[in-house]
Amino acid sequence: MSARFFAFLLFCGLFVGHAEAATKFAYPLPTKDTVITAYYDTNRSSGAKRDWNGGSHTYDNHAGSDYGLYGRWTKMDAGVWITAAAPGKVVSASDGQADRCTSGSCSPCNGNYVKIQHSDGKHSYYLHMKKGTVQVKVGQNVKCGDRLGKVGSSGCSTGPHLHFQVNTASSYSTHRCPFVHNDWVSKGSYKGYPSTTCQSGGSTNPPPPTNCDYIKTARLQGGQLNIRPSSNTNQSPVGTVGDGVCLKVLSKTTSGQNISGTTTWYKINHNGATGWISAYYADCSSCGPPAECNAGQTKACYTGAANTRNKGVCKDGKRSCNNGKWGACQNDTKPSAEKCDGKDNDCDGSVDEGNPDAGGSCTTGTGGPCGQGTKQCKGGKIVCEANQPGGTELCDNVDNNCDGQIDEGLSRDCYTGPPNTNGIGSCKGGTQTCNAGEWGSCNGEVKPTNQELCNNQLDDNCDGNVDEGCNTSGSCTAGETRPCYTGPAGTQGVGTCKQGLETCQNNTWSACQNQVLPASQELCGNAQDDNCDGQTDENCSGSDTCVDNDKDGYGVGNSCIGLQDCNDNDPNMHPNKEEVCGNGKDEDCKDGDLPCSNTTTKLQVGQAGCTQASDCVTNFCANKGGVNRCSQPCKLSAECPTGFECVGEQACWPSSGTTQSNCDSASGEKCFQVRGGCGCSSQSEQPDPGLPVMLFLGCLLFMWRQLRRTPHSTNRK
């Protein structure tokens, strides 16, 4: 045999000699207290369960072996220790989960557990431990037989037992059956116990972990270990330490002198001597103070002053367990300087105390005496508060009382009729409100009529006399006429307003016919003085607009057609709305609110049966087709209530009726008879709606009777 070949064999022998031996496991429980309840399922590819001996002592897809307790809960409460089946390093552990699970699913499935990595790459799992009994922590080296924890029923469990599992690598999916692969020191008989003897010749000193808080000296055979000033033995010792001494690791190096295959050295302090010892003579240990916590645990924390905790904006944070110690408090909210935000920032139980962020001059934006102010914290916001107290609010478009509003709540009594007529007869005052420094129109007032309305027992012209100048003897001549005007004083002959005519019928003067009264408000865009105040299109917008803010069908603006709204912010007030008496509102935009006392015994618009004007709320009794009905004067249908139309530019009549035609057919006039006569208008003034023949004949018959009664009277324009 050549020297080169011999060297090759020697190399191979050395290589093989240094390979790690396969890890063999000892039974991790005492045999007197336990029983094998389920083996590994070797037939995981199908639904038929099978244990390593071909039996059915398992359940489908079981990845380990289960070992239960005799006495179950009683024995669990007494405590049965689980020990390491082989030496290795703890790479994962958890504690703190509930340990009396019976449902098969409580908390994380592993429950309280320990996972150990062994020198040949295998991993062993010890699952479902009793809460609070885990004795080791991540990074700790353990020997075969070291206590890991006690048997419990945590995680996926229905009773106290140990789930022991062997994997070929760290991945959970690499599990295998230790009975099939002879991973036990001795697997024992079927349904018996594997050997509790640890593997002989196995490694009892696995590689030191990357992190080790406490160590315990070992393998000194009762001697003393030198403490060196550096991580090698070429310097004189600074002290010694005996076997089995628990030491705190001050620091660690992995590049020290190689002692029996390890270059890891620990810096320690013992009996006043601080120096280094080799990791070959020390094992990671839990001999130090008990762990503060277990991996995965968290708890609430707060680093602010104790009297501010959970007050105002202050709230707890969270600490997490790292390597058995509680970490720093994260994300807690501590007190800060108070701000004007409606919150208790300094967590003293008060909000915005001390007027925070305030001070400094500001402008209130209201002008006048309240224009200058100082910034103040009010309701969680900075506001500009006037420097001087406010006075009495005036109608001048200025915030006189410094409350942030202008001309608010200002109203006053008003009356625009002639002097010494307010409160006389039918006349009464109204109310004005202030808007943008200007007093508005006098709403609800009743002014004198131009002349007394006869036979209504009222003082209409407010001169202190009732029905003066009226012929009360009934001696007027049938067909006799006289001028009349019932509008407010000073409006006759102004703008579109004009007088009408009363006719004597049945010894009584009829209502005033064909007069033109003031519109309730100016009609914009028609270049006429509709409300007879001497002005044309006053209060109309200069632009060609018509807006209907309250969506009631009546707008305001110079392009609006017909009557305009008297209150475009209230859909219950418009020219065609039915008036409600005594509520202080002018719903129909005419003559203010009607007092209920005037309507209790009088007929409303559209009601039949009137014999004279005073029978009607409107003092207007009209006749159409032989029917007497209370009406109201009009020029357009828009001036009539809903369901009525303006006939002959004279009176409002229910929409089911139409205008009669009995005037001069040559002139094309239309006729509408009111109490005491027949008034006509041209086609150019009132479109012909197409009259029924019967109404036409009725009007002719009525005129024929009138001519027979008063042969010398005519009623033509």
**Tell me, what CATH number does 97's domain have?**
2.70.70.10
Which residue from 528, 525, 576, 519 is spatially nearest to 552, judged by alpha carbons? 576
* CB-CB neighbours of 704 under 10 Å: 11
Say if pTM beats, i.e. exceeds, 0.75. Answer: no
Domain end residue (candidates: 260, 284, 308): 284
Q: Is residue 92 part of a domain?
A: yes
Note whether residue 244 is domain-resident.
Answer: yes
pLDDT at 469: 72
The answer to whether 58 and 20 have CB atoms below 8 angstroms apart is no
Question: Which 3 state secondary structure label does DSSP give 701?
Answer: helix
> Is residue 476 in a domain?
no
227/170 same-domain check: no
Judge if 219 and 126 occupy the same domain.
no
Domain boundary residue among 284, 300, 335? 284
**Is the domain of 167 the same as that of 65?**
yes
Rounded CA-CA distance 352/339 in Å is: 6
Does residue 70 sit within a domain?
Answer: yes
Domain assignment present for residue 14? The answer is no
Task: State the residue range of the domain holding 648.
Answer: 613-709
Sequence-distant (≥ 6) Cβ neighbours of residue 630 within 8 angstroms: 602, 603, 604, 605, 606, 607, 608, 610, 615, 616, 617, 618, 620, 621, 622
Residue written as token pair 């009726």: 657
Instruction: Take residue 655 and report the two structure tokens written for it.
Output: 């929409």
Q: What is the pLDDT of residue 100?
A: 94
Q: If you search the block for the tokens 């429980």, which residue do you land on? A: 29
Examine the domain organization and report whether 136 and 219 are in the same domain. Answer: no
254 with 161, same domain: the answer is no
Tell whether 218 and 158 lie within a shared domain: no
Q: Classify residue 43 as exposed, middle or buried by CB count within 10 Å of its CB (0-12, 13-18, 19+).
A: middle
User: HEC string of 110-153?
Assistant: CCEEEEEECCCCCEEEEEEECCCCCCCCCCCEECCCCEEEEEEE
**pLDDT given at position 266:** 95
Q: Give residue 407's pLDDT.
A: 85
DSSP 266-321: EEEEETTEEEEEEGGGEEE-S-SSPPS--TT-EEEE--S-GGGTTSTT-B-EEEEE
Residues 6+ apart with CB under 8 A from 208: 141, 262, 264, 279, 284
Say whether both 134 and 239 belong to one domain: no
Helix (H) or strand (E) holding 18: helix 3-18
Q: Do both 43 and 139 map to the same domain?
A: yes
Reduced 3-state DSSP string for 458-491: CCCCCCCCCCCCCCCCCCCCCCCEEEECCCECCC
Q: Which of 612, 609, 525, 603 is nearest to 563 (CA)?
A: 525
Q: Which residues of the chain have pLDDT under 70?
A: 1-20, 201-210, 367-368, 471-475, 541-544, 561-562, 582, 591, 593-601, 656-717
- The pLDDT of residue 613: 83
Burial 683-702 (b: 16+ CB within 10 A, else e): eeebeeeebeeebbebbeeb
Q: Are residues 159 and 218 in the same domain?
A: no
Q: How confident is the model at residue 238, as a pLDDT?
A: 95
- Model pLDDT, residue 471: 63
Q: What angle do CA 672, 673, 679 make, to 5 degrees?
A: 65
DSSP 650-675: TEEEETT---B--S-TTTTEEEEEET
**Tens digit of each residue's pLDDT (9 = 90 or more) over 326-366:** 999 999 999 999 999 999 999 999 999 999 999 899 988 77
- Residues 272, 128, single domain; the answer is no
Q: Note the pLDDT of residue 276.
A: 96
- The two tokens of residue 209 are 């972990």
Query: Quick one: 240 and 168 in the same domain?
Result: no
Of 152, 176, 200, the position where a domain reaches its end is 176
Question: What is the C-alpha separation between 362 and 364, in angstroms, rounded?
Answer: 7
DSSP H helices in 530-606: none
Residue 342 lies inside a defined structural domain of this protein: no
**What does the pLDDT read at residue 713?**
37
User: For residue 250, what is the domain's CATH number?
Assistant: 2.30.30.40
* 147 within domain boundaries: yes
Phi and psi for 481 in degrees, rounded to 5? -125, 160
pLDDT of 677:
34
The pLDDT score that the predictor gives to residue 708 is 56
The pLDDT value given to residue 475: 64
Based on the domain organization, do 129 and 223 belong to the same domain?
A: no
Q: What is the pLDDT of residue 674?
A: 39
> Is 122 part of a structural domain of the chain?
yes
Number of domains making up the chain:
3
